Structures are given as structure tokens and as C-alpha cells.
Chains A and B, each alone.
Chain A
């Protein structure tokens, strides 16, 4: 028995399989440890989890379409990972803080991020679309795994303040190879930080399979850091919800961090700039399509006597509305003014940057003075000279 096997919460590590509460065909598996943590999820609540997943799937496909139409510069699709993100997101309390990577659009949905806020980064009008403190969700990270340390530091601070809020960090399987994630695990364990490390093992880091990152299940790494590691079916929203609740509860009780490996699959490309056909097979894709996170919830609901046709219809209406709002948001995102490029580099005045701003202002003014035609008159030359000084 290793320490994580005997964890006080009963959160057992299963290195050779994963916790699954709902099978791909919608059968409900009883689990004595996990079931109490989702006892409140009745058919209505399960329907709402389905609704969340269906809406974010629709938002995701709409954003992908917007990229193909040239409205977005780039989009990293989340398709396939709806259960992992919604299950974790719906486990959180409002005062828990999310430190995510770039694919966690479903977490942004859970946190009420507006469509224009969500899209502005990918349209290229802002480095981040929302105020982290309004949504309890940090600026998403592109640097792989950097946010694991930020979540750990935030959690340490929350604990020092006597709060029982927790931090959660989302990262992928590739990030587990980065130093930052490993250093975060060291810090979190050493300081009993109330943080949850949520690894979405979606099998691929762009073109590199998870086997290139690890020779064993990622959840087993937790043991070496002295924290529980749990491996769940990341396409099973109930299993993810339960595992995240258990980990958060452990954090709130001051027992420290937990590592969750949610085994899932990125159905689409890494980003819209990627061609996954170069590195993975149709058979693999078909195999994972059988494990769809939405289909199994519908199957379970249907087996429980719910009118799933009606539910699907209602949810599709909501999803279409969300997609329409997303598309409409594009028209509300204005290109930023040129001189805003200098804004917010520093919190305090910086003489060097102010000089550069002033010089560039003068440079831009030359074009205003020249108005619509290429002018070589004296006034324009004077401005040019002034701008060069």
C-alpha cells in the first residue's frame, strides 16, 4: 500500500484503469466511494449537465466555423473534452479560482464569460478577454503548465488567509513533462496547498502521443509527490464531478493537493492550424467517437425514463441561441485604437515608454496631416521632421 492508496478520503488510486460511473452505452455503475459525492445529481441535474455540455459543444463548433470564415485568427477546439471540463467546472464553488490553459472554453462558459470576452483573444484584439477577478478565472496560459504554479501560489495565499477557497489548475498530458508542473506538485505537497491539479489527458500534445510524455499512467506520478492521484474516465461527467468534489473537499479540509487525471480525447485538431490526419488514424477517432461524453448521458436519461427527444430539442434551442450570440459578438468586437498598444505595460508611469508613445503619436499624426492623398507639402515635411526627433 502506498500513502495515496490509504488516503483519508478513500480516494483510491487505480493505476491500471479508471473510475467510471456511466459506461459509454449509458449504464450506471455503482461505486461505493464516488456515489455519495454525486447523490444530489438527480435526473434534472443530470439533464442540466447534459445541457452544459451540449451548449459548449455548439459554441465550440461555431467558433471553429468562425475561424474557417476568417473571423478568428485561431481557435483551439475542445470537442471531446466536454465532460472533463463541465464535470470539473460544476464541482467548483464561486470563490474557487481557476488557472487554465487555452482550451478550457467550457470553464469560461461555467464562469459566465461573455461571448465577446471569450472570442477577443482568438480574434486578436486583446491578450485576454476578461477580468480574472470578475469570473474567478485567471488569464488563460499559452505557456504549457505555467499556470500550475500560479494555482499553487494562489492556494497557498488563500490558506494563509484562513479562507477555505481552493484553486484548480487545468493542464494537458503534455504539460506533465514541463518543469513548472512538477515544481508546482512539489510546492503544493510541501505546503499542503488547497489546490487541485486537473490533467486532461486528451492523448495528444499536438502530434505527440501521451506515451512520449510518460511510461505509466499520469495519475501515478502523484504518488511520488506524496499526494493522492486519481484516474477517472474523463468522458464521464459524473465521475469527473465526483472526483473533483472529493479533491476540493480534501483541499478545504487542509489536507492538501490532489492530482486528477481525466482520461479523455481531443476529437478535433490541436488548433485550427493543425492537421491531425498526419499523426493519427481514422480508426482511433472512430473508437473514441463510441465514448462520446454526451451520448452516454442521453442514454442514461432515456433508460431512466426521461423524454430525451424533448430534452434534446430544448437544449438544441438553447445551444443555437448561444451560437447565435457568439456569432453576433464578432460584430461588437472593435479593433483596438493604435496607441492602446502602449497601455498597461506598467502599472506606474514609465518615462522610457512614455517617450516611445509620444514619438509614435507624432509619427501617426503625419498620416492624419497628409489626409487622403500622398502629400509632399511643407506642412507634412515639418511634421515628419518633428516625428523623427
Chain B
């Protein structure tokens, strides 16, 4: 076991993937000489050369579109979108090309492309640097969408994403890049927990709290705080946003009878809406209360000095827990 930050764990995972398969190439803006703006690719160009770790022109469609051509040629491109809000110029290539070519070619053309995206807010950044665009991609057939939340998962999931024959949107919680944790760098892909399986990170009996990415840590804090208040919260780290591991959530909700979902992205048409609807369809008769979503507001990401009012935090999520528990909460007495 090694103690690594989440960013260093990603770096180690990428290094391992580059070493294991010479068809793996990294591409992105500033990822080579600089090592990426978050230093996730630090040192990899020096180690593997400029044809394996490629600094590209500033062109998201260009990065994604050339990755498609490289995949045609048999490569496994791993591309970095520098910030979440920069992904939109590459959106067409992702949803119209990367996502569909396997289907359109009736399985003849594989798109084993990993699209790494630092996502989410909480770092006091400028506009377009704090977004949570995962729902756009979860809505697109042909893509897998995952988010890591801790160094051990970061190390293994990035390797799994690269090894996957399907394209993977790989969301990295940028405000947790510096969180440290134990990583087993000797672990093999074959023995690893599948990327599509959720993890119960805190066991509980009263409320199931589902989240992913940066908010997993907040959710754990919620469970600790709620326990002091006599409420037992089970925290599930979704890990895979598409497809969702409903079996794990369903089993939990059948025991707790209550579901809270939290994410930084806005509520309308979001991942939480999908989870709430699907769990209601699957185990309505086990629910003691309607599922509750604690999310970002349906607003453009606000200026840094306002982001604490946008992002779900410990107290707002606890308020959501109170709602499903029927305890006094901010909406008590308000008609739905």
C-alpha cells in the first residue's frame, strides 16, 4: 500500500496503463511538458515520449475527433478535457461520433476512448471551470459515465476505463485532487471491483444517501453528523453514473425505506431525477417517503463568492435527510 493523493493516484494509474499497453496514448492541452493544469499527467511525457503523451492544439473537437481516428487505427486514446466547462466544443464528436460508431458499424469499430474530465466546483474558480455536465453524457446511449471519489478508486477505475472497449466519460472530482488515501499499486485489473458496481461506503439503517464524486466525502460527514442525532445513514458511492448499479441501491432502500440523492449538478433532468424515478419504479412499496434530491440549483454556475449557496453541503444534505425522516426541516409546513 502507498499513500497517494487522488491526483497522484490517477497519475500512477495512467503510468501503469501506458506501460502495460503501447496502444494507449494520452492527448490533451498542456498535459505533456506542463503535466496538466492539475499535474495529473506530471512526468509522463518525459517517461513515455511525445508520441505517447501528446500536447495538442487548443481544440476540444480536434482532440476528441482525432481520438476517434486513432481508435479506428487500433489505439486506445485517453484524452483530457482541461476543465468541465470546456467540453462543449467537443460535445458533437462525443455524442454523435464516439458514442455511436460501435452501433453504427454494427460492432465492427470499437471506440475504447477514455475522456477524463475534472469536474465540479468548490475551488473558487472562474466561469466555465466548475461545472457538472455528467447528465448530458449519461443521457447518451453508447457512453459509459463514471466518477471516482477517492485515491484507490481513482487508480483502479482509470485503468479499467482505459481497458474498457466502450468509451468512458471519466469524471474526476477536482476539489478532492489533494485528498490522500491508501492505494494498492500492485492490484491487478482482473481482481478489481468492476467499474460499474457501486460501493457502500458507510453502512446505515434509516436512510440511503446516494452520491458520487466530490460529494462522497461530504456524504460521509453527513452520516457521522446524523448518527450523533440518532439517524443511521447508509452512504452509497455510485461510481458508475451510466449504467447505474441499481441492485446495490435497491437492496439498501428495501432496508432503509428512504432515499436521498445529492449531486452538485442542477436538478432538472439530472442524475438524481433518474435515480429517484428508477428506484420508485423498482421498489415503491418499500419506500416510507418520497425520494428527495439535494442538488445544485437550476442556474448557471454562480460566481465564486456565491458557490457555497449553490453546492450541496453538510447542512443542506442533513436537511434532506430530515425531510425523508419526517423530522422538522426547511420545508416543514410548505406544500409540495
Using CB atoms and an 8 Å cutoff, list the residues of chain A in contact with chain B: 97, 99, 126-128, 131-133, 138-139, 143, 146, 148-158, 160-161, 167, 179-180, 183-184, 186-187, 190, 343-348, 350-353
The 6 A-B residue pairs with the shortest CB-CB distance, nearest first, are A153-B69, A149-B65, A153-B66, A157-B73, A347-B165, A154-B69
**Interface 0/1 of B89-108, CB less than 8 Å to A:** 10011001100111111111
Contact at B69–A139, with CB atoms within 8 Å? no
Q: Is the CB of B141 within 8 A of A345?
A: yes
B103 with A149: CB separation less than 8 A = no
* Bound-complex Cα distance A202 to B174 (A): 48
Contact A348 B104 (CB under 8 A): no
Chain A at the B interface: SS class: helix
Is B196 engaged at the interface, CB distance under 8 Å to the other chain? Answer: yes
Report if A190-B66 is in contact (Cβ < 8 Å); known contacts: A132-B105, A351-B196. Answer: no
Residues of B within 8 A of A156 (CB): 66, 69-70
Q: Which residues of A contact B242 (CB under 8 A)?
A: 352
Assembled-state Cα–Cα distance A347/B70 (Å) = 18
A contact residues around B141 at 8 Å (CB):
345, 353
In the complex, what residues of A have CB within 8 A of residue B102's CB?
Answer: 344-347
Note all chain B residues with C-beta closer than 8 A to A149: 61-62, 64-66, 68-69, 93
CB pair B93–A180 under 8 Å, yes or no, is yes
**Residue of A131, A149, A167, A180 contacting most chain B CB atoms (<10 Å):** A149
B279 → chain A closest CB, angstroms: 13
Residues in chain B near residue A127, CB distance under 8 A: 100, 103-106
Query: How far in angstroms is the closest Cβ of chain B from A289?
Result: 36
Residue of A nearest to B73 (CB): A157
- Please judge, given known A-B contacts A154-B70, A157-B74, A344-B102, whether A184 and B93 are in contact too, CB under 8 Å: no
Q: A343-B106, A346-B142, A352-B243 are in contact. Are A157 and B59 (CB under 8 A)?
A: no
- Which residue of chain B has its CB nearest to the CB of A140? B104
CA distance A345 to B101 in the complex (A): 9
Question: Contacts of B107 on A, CB cut-off 8 Å?
Answer: 343-344, 347
Residues of A within 8 A of B196 (CB): 351
Interface range on chain B (Cβ under 8 Å from partner): 35 or more
Q: Evaluate whether A186 and B62 lie within 8 angstroms (CB atoms) in the complex, with A139-B105, A344-B102 already known.
A: yes
Query: Using a CB-CB cutoff of 8 Å, which residues 204-247 of chain B contact chain A?
Result: 242-246
Distance (whole angstroms) from the CB of A107 to the closest CB of chain B: 16
Q: Which B residues are CB-close (under 8 A) to A139?
A: 101, 104-105, 109
Given contacts A126-B106, A157-B73, A347-B166, contact A186 B57 (CB under 8 A): yes
CA distance A132 to B62 in the complex (A): 22
Give chain B nearest CB distance to A171 CB in angstroms: 13
Quick check: is B72 within 8 A (CB to CB) of the other chain?
yes
Chain A minimum-CB-distance residue to B51: A160
Question: What residue of chain A has the Cβ atom nearest to residue B243's Cβ?
Answer: A352
Do residues A143 and B96 form an inter-chain contact, with CB atoms below 8 A? yes
Task: State whether the Cβ of B164 lies closer than 8 Å to any Cβ in chain A.
Answer: yes
Q: Beyond the given A180-B61, A347-B166, please list 18 additional residue pairs across the A-B interface where CB-CB is below 8 A.
A: A127-B103, A127-B104, A131-B108, A133-B108, A146-B97, A148-B65, A149-B65, A150-B72, A153-B69, A153-B72, A156-B70, A180-B93, A184-B65, A344-B105, A344-B106, A347-B164, A352-B242, A352-B243
B247 to chain A, nearest CB (A): 8
- Distance of A287 Cα from B16 Cα, bound (Å): 63
